[in-house]
């Protein structure tokens, strides 16, 4: 970890032309890389959303990422020299440029292997940023919690859109999350009711009532969407996709 | 952060509904956003969709090029027009240093090189009429060079055959450069949009190369074509046998990494579709 605290290792540059990763191959870095490329990522340790943010930045700037492997400068006042640069585009195209001066070095092959290792690791992290389960799970819970909150807030407002909005907002959550996870959530109003009944009157106040109301609403919405949305949405999606595919095929094979 | 505007801008915008001049459909359902959203948000949304669309259409073929260069610059242009200028300057420098025996390959004339130099120095977007004339003349000249096939002059021996192949490769690069100059996807900030931007970045990487030593093209149906440049094995390159083997292994690793990256994106798309249809 001494390497990372000194800011050496893999650096990330958020250029307007796209994200660029650069790894300075100091001797210690070369030694540590085979065991765990993650050890050489510069501190502070990237937040969990770092790779997702990088992916979005890359998409917004054309769908490409640059990886550079640099070697330390020969003189103190000179800049480090880039030995290998990879341009990776999300369609799968890649251009890898190798400075042939570094191939004649004694550690030329180690440089090639180090570049393969750390770029492969970065690409894996970028791919996992879009991993469906983590994003979908977060989205699902956000919707399940935000939907009832909006609904309850809407009860204090006559004629607003918060109540129907809250009902709609909870739909994706109840469709995406597995039923087993939601069952824990549904037990909440039952548990709260028991607690409120058993506790002295002093602790039964507005917050507890509000929480009980929210959980009841969530229970109702969950039942509604499980019954209605669990079948309707896939049916609707299949219909729409089928029509779209038929339309595309018709256009493709239509005589000019 | 987006703020609703008090006045509706009725100028047609090149957005999702570019020709209709209205806000993108995704925003219309929000009651407060019946007015046009801020241009920056619309531009970001358009770029996002365009990149997704181009990435999906590029999925069918995957190309991995491994190249040897004499030097890799650590300086990066920040805008696409600067990438274009540097590409043009690299092309000019290469054509000025290399000229072919007219017996084997027609070379670009000195006038054409002067026009290319003028184009690189004064290019702005949208193109002015003098630059458009330059581009048209260069396109015509480069096409004539590529199409000039003298049946008796086809070199069958090294090094003329390699030199001719390299010259023709750079003529094709020049044509791609000129096509990028003529593109209508340039915005006011000197940035390209869509597939042209990816093509420009690839061109910028490929133009400054000594030679492409390996190329692999993999189709979605599984067909793969791998090419190894025989120049890699020439003694003139000064590479040892171990270095050559390391380079070939390195290219194979790059191909695998690229395939894994593409397959990951494909599986995410499939999982998303499955989640919508089955759940």
Give the pLDDT confidence score for residue A86 in this predicted structure. 93
Average pLDDT in the B36-61 region?
68
Mean pLDDT, chain B, whole residue set: 77
Give the pLDDT confidence score for residue B89 in this predicted structure. 92
Q: Which residues contact A146 (CB under 8 A, 6 or more apart)?
A: A166, A169, A170
Say if residue B10's pLDDT is above 50. no
Residue of A nearest to B255 (CA): A94
Average pLDDT in the B132-155 region?
79
Most confident of A106-115, A230-239, B42-51: A106-115
Average pLDDT in the A59-88 region?
82
The alpha carbons of chain B give a radius of gyration, in whole angstroms, of 23
Distance from C-alpha of B229 to C-alpha of B34, rounded to nearest angstrom: 58
More confident residue, B13 or B53: B53
Measured CA distances, B226 to A21, B63, B64, B248 (Å): 28, 10, 9, 11
- Per-residue pLDDT band for B231 (boundaries 50, 70, 90) equals confident
Tell me the chain B residues in contact with residue A241 when contact means C-beta distances shorter than 8 Å: 277
B134 touches chain A (CB under 8 A): no
Average pLDDT in the B168-172 region?
91
For A100-115, letters b (16+ CB in 10 Å) and e give: bebbeeeebbebbbbb
Say if residue A82's pLDDT is above 70. yes
Q: Measuring CA to CA, which residue among A88, A84, A83, A71 is closest to residue A124?
A: A88
Average pLDDT in the A84-101 region?
89
Yes or no, beta carbons of B277 and A85 under 8 Å apart: no
- Of the given ranges (A65-79, A219-233, B80-94, B241-255), which has the lowest mean pLDDT? A219-233
Distance from C-alpha of A204 to C-alpha of A187, rounded to nearest angstrom: 19
Say if residue B255's pLDDT is above 80. yes
Say if residue A244's pLDDT is above 70. yes
Average pLDDT in the B262-278 region?
70
Say if residue B215's pLDDT is above 90. yes
Measured CA distances, B82 to B87, B120, B152, B191 (Å): 8, 10, 42, 9
Say if residue B121's pLDDT is above 90. no
Tell me the chain B residues in contact with residue A61 when contact means C-beta distances shorter than 8 Å: 47
B121 touches chain A (CB under 8 A): no
Residue of B nearest to A95 (CA): B65
Give the pLDDT confidence score for residue B209 in this predicted structure. 83
Measured CA distances, B74 to A9, A187, A231 (Å): 17, 59, 56
Give the pLDDT confidence score for residue A85 in this predicted structure. 93
pTM over 0.95: no
Average pLDDT in the A197-204 region?
58
Query: pLDDT tens-digit profile of B154-166?
Result: 556 667 777 888 8
Q: Peptide bond before B234: cis, by omega within 30 degrees of 0?
A: no
Mean pLDDT, chain A, whole residue set: 71
* Residue pairs between chains A and B whose CB atoms are closer than 8 Å: 189
Query: pLDDT tens-digit profile of A2-48?
Result: 223 334 467 777 777 788 888 887 766 565 555 555 554 544 455 66
- Per-residue pLDDT band for A174 (boundaries 50, 70, 90) equals low
The percent of residues in chain B predicted with pLDDT above 90, rounded, is 20
Give the pLDDT confidence score for residue B177 in this predicted structure. 93
Yes or no, beta carbons of A86 and B254 under 8 Å apart: yes
Give the pLDDT confidence score for residue B149 in this predicted structure. 64
Give the pLDDT confidence score for residue B20 in this predicted structure. 41
Give the pLDDT confidence score for residue A243 in this predicted structure. 80
Say if residue B16's pLDDT is above 60. no
Say if residue B19's pLDDT is above 50. no
Token pair of A73 as six digits: 């400068």
Q: Token pair 């290019």 is at which residue?
A: B123
């Amino acid at each position: 970890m001494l390497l990372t605290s000194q800011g050496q290792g893999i650096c990330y540059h958020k250029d307007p032309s796209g994200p660029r990763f650069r790894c300075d191959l100091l001797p210690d870095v070369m030694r540590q890389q085979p065991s765990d490329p993650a050890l050489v990522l510069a501190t502070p340790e990237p937040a969990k959303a770092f790779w997702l943010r990088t992916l979005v930045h890359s998409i917004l700037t054309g769908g490409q990422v640059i990886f550079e492997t640099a070697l330390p400068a020969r003189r103190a006042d000179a800049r480090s020299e880039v030995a290998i640069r990879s341009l990776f585009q999300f369609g799968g195209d890649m251009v890898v440029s190798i400075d042939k001066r570094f191939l004649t070095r004694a550690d030329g092959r180690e440089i090639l292997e180090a570049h393969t290792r750390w770029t492969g690791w970065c690409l894996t992290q970028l791919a996992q940023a879009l991993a469906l389960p983590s994003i979908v799970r977060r989205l699902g819970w956000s919707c399940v919690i935000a939907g009832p909150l909006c609904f309850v807030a809407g009860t204090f407002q006559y004629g607003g859109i918060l109540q129907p909005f809250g009902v709609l907002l909870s739909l994706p959550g109840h469709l995406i999350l597995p039923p087993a996870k939601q069952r824990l959530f549904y037990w909440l109003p039952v548990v709260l009711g028991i607690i409120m009944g058993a506790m002295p009157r002093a602790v039964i106040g507005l917050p507890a009532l509000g929480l009980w109301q929210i959980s009841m609403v969530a229970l109702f919405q969950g039942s509604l969407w499980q019954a209605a949305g669990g079948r309707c949405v896939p049916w609707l999606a299949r219909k729409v996709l089928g029509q779209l595919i038929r339309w595309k095929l018709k256009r493709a094979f239509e005589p000019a | 952060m987006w703020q609703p505007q008090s006045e509706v801008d009725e100028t047609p915008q090149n957005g999702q509904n570019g020709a209709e001049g209205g806000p993108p459909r995704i925003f219309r359902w929000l009651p407060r956003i019946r007015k046009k959203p801020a241009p920056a948000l619309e531009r970001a949304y358009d770029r996002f969709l365009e990149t997704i669309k181009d990435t999906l259409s590029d999925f069918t073929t995957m190309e991995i090029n491994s190249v040897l260069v004499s030097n890799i610059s650590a300086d990066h242009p920040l805008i696409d027009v600067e990438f274009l200028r540097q590409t043009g300057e690299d092309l000019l420098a290469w054509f000025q240093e290399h000229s072919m025996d007219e017996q084997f390959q027609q070379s670009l004339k000195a006038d054409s090189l002067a026009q290319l130099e003028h184009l690189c120095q004064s290019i702005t977007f949208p193109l002015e009429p003098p630059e458009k004339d330059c581009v048209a003349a260069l396109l015509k000249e480069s096409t004539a060079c590529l199409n000039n096939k003298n049946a008796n002059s086809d070199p069958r021996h090294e090094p003329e055959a390699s030199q001719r192949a390299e010259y023709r490769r750079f003529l094709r690069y020049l044509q791609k450069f000129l096509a990028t100059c003529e593109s209508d996807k340039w915005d006011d900030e000197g940035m390209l949009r869509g597939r042209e931007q990816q093509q420009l970045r690839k061109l910028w990487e490929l133009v400054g190369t000594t030679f492409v030593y390996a190329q692999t093209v993999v189709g979605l149906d599984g067909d793969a074509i791998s090419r190894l440049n025989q120049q890699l094995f020439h003694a003139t390159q000064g590479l040892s046998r171990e270095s050559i083997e390391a380079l070939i292994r390195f290219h194979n690793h790059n191909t695998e990494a690229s395939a894994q990256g593409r397959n990951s994106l494909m599986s995410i798309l499939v999982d998303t579709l499955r989640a919508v249809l089955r759940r």
